[in-house]
Chains A and B, each alone.
Chain A
Amino acid sequence: GAVVSQHPSWVICKSGTSVKIECRSLDFQATTMFWYRQFPKQSLMLMATSNEGSKATYEQGVEKDKFLINHASLTLSTLTVTSAHPEDSSFYICSARDWRMNTEAFFGQGTRLTVV
């Protein structure tokens, strides 16, 4: 299947700083990318949907000014957690699909963020 790569796999940052997470589709063009958040022992919660070249659509309750999403190209989307706080510590996972090819969504391996 298609490969989606997330970077970094894990990151530790200080409270108040910003962290950028990258999601790349390695062998296909991702017209749509999704960002999920997974709390320990809980399910994945969709944070936002981004389509290449347009603004992301955020789910209810997700602060768009805190979680900045950029999908500037067909192979790259970034999630920036701004002014991170300990409660932002979580596992963030992206998925990507090419709607033109009507493919399923493929998931990255996830990024574990720890804010200290």
Chain B
Amino acid sequence: GDSVTQMEGPVTLSEEAFLTINCTYTATGYPSLFWYVQYPGEGLQLLLKATKADDKGSNKGFEATYRKETTSFHLEKGSVQVSDSAVYFCALSDTGTASKLTFGTGTRLQVTL
């Protein structure tokens, strides 16, 4: 079946540091890939997505590129802020849009001053 593997956290960075959160996947066919963010006490919010190979999703300074050859969708941000502290989930959907999602275990990011 489909699966998503994320790097374990927590990840602790100083403000303005570079962020990478690794995500790899296993799926049949050509899934769509997503990053969701969960701020403390809140539900999940879609951060960005990519629906086909070589697509780059971007939002709020975050970006991730759909790499079919390495089955990866790593999340990056050039300069993190304290407000980026949250849990980040990588997910895939094998039905095009974000319907039935398979999630990774989530990576907690803590950004300090």
Q: Which residues of A contact B (CB under 8 A)?
A: 1, 4, 6, 32, 34, 41-46, 49, 93, 95, 97, 99, 102-110
Q: In the complex, A4 Cα to B46 Cα: how many Å?
A: 13
Interface residues on B, range: 10 to 19
Q: Assess the A105–B98 pair: CB atoms within 8 A.
A: yes
Question: Contacts A107-B43, A107-B44, A107-B45 known; A42 to B98 CB distance under 8 Å?
Answer: no
Residues of B within 8 A of A1 (CB): 46
Q: How far is the CB of A69 from chain B (nearest CB, A)?
A: 15
Residue of B nearest to A57 (CB): B100
Residue of A nearest to B49 (CB): A104
Residues of B within 8 A of A99 (CB): 99
Q: Which 8 A-B pairs have the closest CB atoms?
A: A109-B43, A104-B98, A107-B44, A43-B103, A43-B105, A107-B43, A105-B98, A110-B43
Chain B residues numbered 40-66 whose CB sits less than 8 Å from any CB in chain A:
42-46, 49
